[in-house]
A = this chain, B = another copy of it.
Amino acid sequence: MSHSALKLVTIGGGSSYTPELIEGFIKRQDQLPIKEIWLVDIPEGEKKLQIVGAMAKRMVKAAGLDWTVHLTLDRREALKDADFVSTQFRVGLLEARVKDERIPGYYGMLGQETNGAGGIFKAFRTVPVILDIVKDMKELCPNAWLINFTNPSGMITEAIRTYGHWDKVIGLCNVPVNAMLSEPATIGKTREELTYKFAGIDHFHWHRVWDNTGREVTMDILKAMYAGRDGGLPKNIFDVQFFREQVDQMKMIPCAYHRYYYREEEMLKHSLDEWQGVGTRAQQVMQIEHELFQLYQDPNLDHKPAQLAQRGGAHYSDAACEAIASIYGDKHTHMVVSTLNQGAIPDLPEDHVVEVSAVISASGALPIAFGRFQPAERGWLQLMKNMELVIDEAAATGDYGLALQAFTMNPMITSGQRAKDMLDEMLVANEKDLPQFAGKIKALKAAGVTVHDEVAAHIDEHIGQI
């Protein structure tokens, strides 16, 4: 970045996370010569954008900074000559998340935002939009960096590279951030005293840790976790322990999301219990969001409220600020990011995206080579990365056969007729956000596929609670 007056753009600026982002920038005011912050949203999000935008302005003012904060629905105006673009939007808003959780539940399968059928559909909805954004960026800010933390972050980053042909992108996730924030204390260390090596893909990675005497402390951390110390499980994941014998064998720390794969039975049960009872995660999030926006409307509030940390995505935005500061300042910080493999994980193709420990420099992420996995983790990882590639190709092309292949591969989906029916119903239910599947959806509807009344009622009920 040669610019000394930075223009930062956040797409999905009306998100409840924006105060964390603003706080992150304020914390790094000495590192980032910010001139303008543009918060962009879509018409359906205008109200939230106004609320959170006003809050952002108060925060900047309270910090005594001369940055201008712009609120706009005009994405192209915002992108013009941007230096950094961060993305934190949700296509279809929380309503779509409700569908991702409610419909699978109806079919007796796990409804979740980035795993199972819900995760696949989140990718299907998001890929066309991100490719549009990239198209605009090529025209309006061809030298900008894109910092993606829209979920499913790894798949979106992959799509940006493979289908958008845009290289200046870093994908972020708060899961490694949480782990690195919480784990050191479990063994009486600080973050600075530990060296982390993460490898895998977004929401499906493992890590090993060494202390500052060179001793591997991976198993010490695991032991401490089993002794009850908090290892950084995000708030949005139900807590069920990994089997001790299994992690003792792998000698690595699985990520929080591995629960879905290593304890499928319990995670499914929890998901179905939520479905029938307390409400899905989307509903809980809506409640939290509702409260947050209540707070944000307070004209006296000019700093990030503590309640924001209760959302599963805490630290996401701060990670984005750190990535921006590291690139701009050529800081050579260690971060765990979604970036091009380049051999760092030799068990995966070197020309696709992985999530891995990297050094963040002005030229982007320099991934640290991890070496080969043992067979158990290698098999899982190769399945999951290839599934990502299938999902992305389906998302980019609208090919129904590929969508069905993705559903078949997904370990959270029991393949068979129910899975296919669920796929069809989800396509119909998400019609307005899936232009690439328009032809297939039309055919499905003509063949009588609809959203079941029970599901529709569920969805309406939940959306009504927003």
Interface residues of A (CB under 8 A from B): 1-2, 193, 195, 197, 210-216, 243, 245-246, 248-250, 261-268, 327, 329-330, 332, 334, 340-346, 350, 357, 359, 361-364, 366-372, 375-376, 378-380, 382-387, 389-390, 393, 399-402, 404-406, 408-409, 411, 414-420
Check B400–A245 contact: CB distance below 8 A.
yes
Residue from B1, B213, B264, B406 within 8 A of A2 (CB atoms): B213
Query: How far apart are the CA atoms of A350 and B266 in the complex, in Å?
Result: 37
Query: How far apart are the CA atoms of A334 and B368 in the complex, in Å?
Result: 12
Check B343–A265 contact: CB distance below 8 A.
no
Residue from B1, B376, B404, B417 within 8 A of A245 (CB atoms): B404
B residues near A402, Cβ cutoff 8 Å: 249, 376
Check A343–B370 contact: CB distance below 8 A.
yes
Query: How far apart are the CA atoms of A387 and B261 in the complex, in Å?
Result: 15
Check B363–A210 contact: CB distance below 8 A.
yes
> Would you mind naming 21 contact pairs between A and B with Cβ atoms under 8 Å apart?
A1-B213, A1-B214, A195-B366, A210-B362, A213-B330, A214-B327, A250-B405, A264-B416, A268-B414, A334-B359, A343-B350, A343-B370, A350-B369, A350-B371, A357-B366, A367-B368, A376-B408, A379-B383, A379-B386, A379-B409, A380-B383
Query: How far apart are the CA atoms of A417 and B240 in the complex, in Å?
Result: 10
Check A390–B376 contact: CB distance below 8 A.
yes
Name the 4 nearest CB pairs between A and B, nearest first: A379-B386, A265-B416, A249-B401, A343-B346
Q: Which of A1, A268, A401 is the most central at the interface, judged by chain B CB atoms within 10 Å of its CB?
A: A401
Check A264–B382 contact: CB distance below 8 A.
no
Check B382–A378 contact: CB distance below 8 A.
yes
Min CB–CB distance A387 → chain B (angstroms): 6
Closest-by-CB residue of B relative to A267 is B416
Closest-by-CB residue of B relative to A382 is B382
Residue from B215, B249, B262, B383 within 8 A of A383 (CB atoms): B383
Contacts A369-B368, A405-B246, A409-B380 hold; do A419 and B359 have CB atoms under 8 A apart? no
Closest-by-CB residue of B relative to A346 is B343
Query: How far apart are the CA atoms of A212 and B267 in the complex, in Å?
Result: 46
Query: How far apart are the CA atoms of A364 and B248 in the complex, in Å?
Result: 23
B residues near A249, Cβ cutoff 8 Å: 399, 401-402, 404-405
Query: How far apart are the CA atoms of A321 and B405 in the complex, in Å?
Result: 38
Residue from B246, B267, B330, B399 within 8 A of A404 (CB atoms): B246
Contacts A369-B342, A404-B245 hold; do A362 and B416 have CB atoms under 8 A apart? no
Min CB–CB distance A386 → chain B (angstroms): 3
Q: Which of A329, A334, A341, A376 is the most central at the interface, judged by chain B CB atoms within 10 Å of its CB?
A: A376
Closest-by-CB residue of B relative to A384 is B379
Check B369–A262 contact: CB distance below 8 A.
no
Check B390–A379 contact: CB distance below 8 A.
yes
Contacts A342-B346, A342-B371, A371-B350 hold; do A401 and B359 have CB atoms under 8 A apart? no
Given contacts A216-B363, A343-B346, A376-B387, 6 further A-B contacts (CB under 8 A): A267-B416, A332-B334, A343-B345, A350-B371, A379-B383, A411-B411
Residue from B213, B357, B408, B417 within 8 A of A362 (CB atoms): B213
Min CB–CB distance A348 → chain B (angstroms): 9
Residue from B263, B386, B387 within 8 A of A416 (CB atoms): B263
B residues near A405, Cβ cutoff 8 Å: 246, 249-250, 376
B residues near A261, Cβ cutoff 8 Å: 408, 415
Closest-by-CB residue of B relative to A392 is B375
B residues near A210, Cβ cutoff 8 Å: 361-363
Contacts A249-B404, A261-B408 hold; do A359 and B368 have CB atoms under 8 A apart? yes
Min CB–CB distance A112 → chain B (angstroms): 16
Check A367–B364 contact: CB distance below 8 A.
no
Check A342–B370 contact: CB distance below 8 A.
yes
Closest-by-CB residue of B relative to A269 is B416
Check A195–B383 contact: CB distance below 8 A.
no
Contacts A382-B382, A411-B411 hold; do A416 and B363 have CB atoms under 8 A apart? no
Min CB–CB distance A420 → chain B (angstroms): 6
Query: How far apart are the CA atoms of A211 and B214 in the complex, in Å?
Result: 31
